[in-house]
Structures are given as C-alpha cells and as structure tokens.
Amino acid sequence: MPKHIVIVGGVAGGATVAAQLRRLNKDIRISIFEKGGQIAYSNCGIPYYIGGIVPDRNSILRDCQDFSDKYDAAIHLYTEVTSIDREKQRISFIDLKDNKEGYEEYDHLILSPGASARIPDIPNLNAGNCFPIRSIQDMDHVHQFIEESSPKTALIAGGGFIGVEMAENLILRGLNVQLLERSKQVMGILDSDMAELMEKEMRDKGISLLFDEELAAVEDGGTTFVMKSGKRTEADLLILSMGIIPNTSLAEQSGLKIGETKGIVANEFMQTNDPLIYVLGDAAETVDPILHKPKQVPLAWPAHRQAYIIANHIAGVPIPYKGTYGTAIVKFFDLAAGMIGHNEKTLKSMETPFKTEVVEAKSHAGYFPGSMPLKIKLHYDPVSRAILGAQTIGKDGADKRIDVIAAAMKGKLTVDDLQEIELAYAPPFSSPKDPVNILGYMASSKNINKE
C-alpha cells in the first residue's frame, strides 16, 4: 500500500474516504487539504438549520480536531490546492490565512472538489440580502441575516431540491415566500403530472409560484427583482438555488479528462485517466447503469459508496463501482416525492422506447385510520421489461415504495417481477396487494393482452 495519500476537499467525499483508508491501514499518512473552514458537514442539513428544525448548528458539523485525532489525518483548513504536478506526483497549495505557498508529494491523490452554486451574471447580486445556498458559510450568512434583519418576504430563484426545501423552512421562519422557476414546473426531475401535486401543496401553504421566469436584474438595493419578461417583484431576501457547477478547474489544468456531463471522468474504480489520481463526489462523472450513458449525480449516497470503492482499491481490493441510479427524495411539509432513474423528458430526449404505468392508491388499507393518497409512476422498456425509472408522491409511504423499486432495479428485476415481491402487510402499513405489486400486475396484464 502507498505511504502517503493526499486528499483535496473534505465534506462527504474527502472526509469519508479518509476514514475508510484509515480503517484499512493504520500506518499510511493521510493529508487533507480543504479550502473552507470545515472538514466535514451535512449539506443536506443546511435548510433545516435555517428553518429551526435542526436547532443545534454543531449537530451538522464534524469537529476538525476530533476527526484528526480519530483518523490520524493531517488536516489543512483554509488551504487551496492550486496545481497538480503529475510527473513529480505533488500538489502545490496556498494557505489562505497567511498567503504562504507550499507543496506536498503524494503516492496517490484523491480529488473531492465538490461543486459550486450556479450564480447568474446579473447586476447587484452582491446586495447584502442575496445569498446562494451551498456551504456552511452560506448557511451562516442566511441565518444571521434572518436573525438580525427579520425579513418578512423571500424570493427563491430555482425550484429544485434546495429550492423546495428552503421554501418550507423559510415559511417555518414566518416569511412569505415566492418561488421563481425558469421552466414550467418545480422539480424538473419529476414528470409534470407528479410535479403538479407538489405545486398544489406549495400553493396550499401560501407560496406564490412564478414559472417560465428568469431573474434578470436586482434593483433598489436588493429589494426589487426584475425578470427577463419584464415582470417585477419585491422581497426582503433572495435565495439563489439555481443548480450547481462541478469544480473541475484543477483537474482540467492538470490534463485530467472532463466528460460529457462536465464532470471528471472516472473508471469503475473511480480512477481518472491518471491511475494515481482518483475522483469522487459531486465532480465525478460515472455511468448510468440503466442506459449505460455518462452520468454526474451530486448526491450523498454515491459519494459515500465511491469513498469505499477508492479506499479498497488503494488497499489492493478492487471492488467496481457499478454506477449511480440517482435515487432521491424530497419533502415539503407532510408531502414527500421520491424518484429514481429516468423521467419522461430524459427518455424522450435519448429516443429510448418506454411504456408507463401509474397507480393511484392508498398508503395503507383504506379502512384503517390515517390512510393517505399515494401516486406511483413507473417507466419501463416494452421489450426487455427493464425498469427505467420511477417516481412516488404522497404524505405517507412514498419513501417505502421508491426504496422497494430501487432495490428491484438494483437486482435487475423486470416490471413484471414487481407482482411477485412479497411485501409486509398489515392494515396500518399496506394492502394485501401493495401498490408496487399492482404496478407489476398492470404491466403484465397489458403484455399478456397484447400477445
């Protein structure tokens, strides 16, 4: 095993791979270089701290000294890696606190650069009430602004995961919320009929949804927001949640391959085109195991799995990473929407033939108190019968069903196999034929009738 592992970037990817490396070997040197001031934290917890659901800031942070002591890792915070000399196997860096430069040699280098918030190029976004939401620093800025300025209204630009979660949490802080989205729906990862259910819930909670609109300018010191259509709206606070951009500049400068998705290309062991350099997390381009296309998915589960793959490969135990399905879930108050794989839009864009089954059922036996509407939508290949993607939405049971479908897809079950999955039943939990089973029966019945 190599003597010195250098990791660029902390948070989920870098911190986790360091922990996995130490688990496998007690003797190697591990050095982590992190541009920010935290070695590890939960990005996913940021909206919930702002909303007060998670009251303790420290609960979503990992103490740097504790991490260093536990995993015997040299941690360099506020230190930016500026270049990679692949021939000499060393990185150059600058200490951002005292502006001192240095270098560090490596046997293996692991890149976990993450991604940055997408910021539109429009005037006056530097106003004191305009904030991206990506890092702990961003979180602290928003939290401080709310505490000190007591805003009454907020505009959220972007209706993806973070936009929806921030909408909920700003409502919990007592703000009136508008959400601006340049497409025709929230949660572009959902099919439009599924997104409509989320939109209804958001409107029911008082959110004003502005579709087919894009932010063009900020005026009046940051309180007036102008759309490209010419419409204007006012708010005390602007949250930018317009997606992310993989941080690939260091890799590009070093001659590492950038792929179709603008991520750093990784092979099945998470190696770049330089076998001594690995990549993981938000900036990594892997493979979609459904359609075998390049895929870049900024989620926590893939980053943690990739960390395990890299650590074991360095230790001489080659375990291939088999791709990212993109299983995810989002909540808005009591409503949850789960998703995996491909939606109608992506399947059509890739000219992939598919059929669809939709089940509108109850979360458990309808006669048992507390039963809630549940909708499941599933796309599958009409010939191979392989499941291509699925979405669930409801106030109870959406998470359970998307997880069952995720396991089915990982196990290469067909849509017809869903009818045979023996799921736990009692009236408080499900029905004798679970909605997932019904999807299988419906697809199978249509196939038999066609024959």
Q: Give catalytic residues, as residue numbers.
A: 44
Specify whether the CB–CB gap between 215 and 130 falls below 8 A.
no
What six digits make up the tokens of 75? Answer: 């941690």
Mind giving me the DSSP string for 182-249? SSSSS-TTS-HHHHHHHHHHHHHTTPEEEES--EEEEETTTTEEEETTS-EEE-SEEEE---EEE--H
Q: How far apart are the first and last CA of the chain?
A: 58
Which of these, 408, 411, 410, lies nearest to 443 by C-alpha position? Answer: 408
The packing angle between helices 161-172 and 192-204, to 10°, is: 10
Distance CA 377, CA 384 (A): 18
Long-range contacts of 49-54 (CB under 8 A, 24+ apart): 49/139, 49/143, 50/139, 50/142, 50/143, 50/146, 50/166, 50/169, 50/170, 50/173, 51/168, 51/169, 51/170, 51/172, 51/173, 52/169, 52/172, 52/173, 53/169, 53/172
Distance CA 107, CA 269 (A): 17
Distance CA 286, CA 263 (A): 9
What is the separation of C-alpha 443 from the centre of its chain, rounded to a whole number of angstroms? 31
Specify whether the CB–CB gap between 156 and 180 falls below 8 A.
yes
Report the chain's C-alpha Rg in angstroms.
Answer: 23
Which amino acid belongs to residue 390? A
Which of these, 170, 203, 206, lies nearest to 47 by C-alpha position? Answer: 170
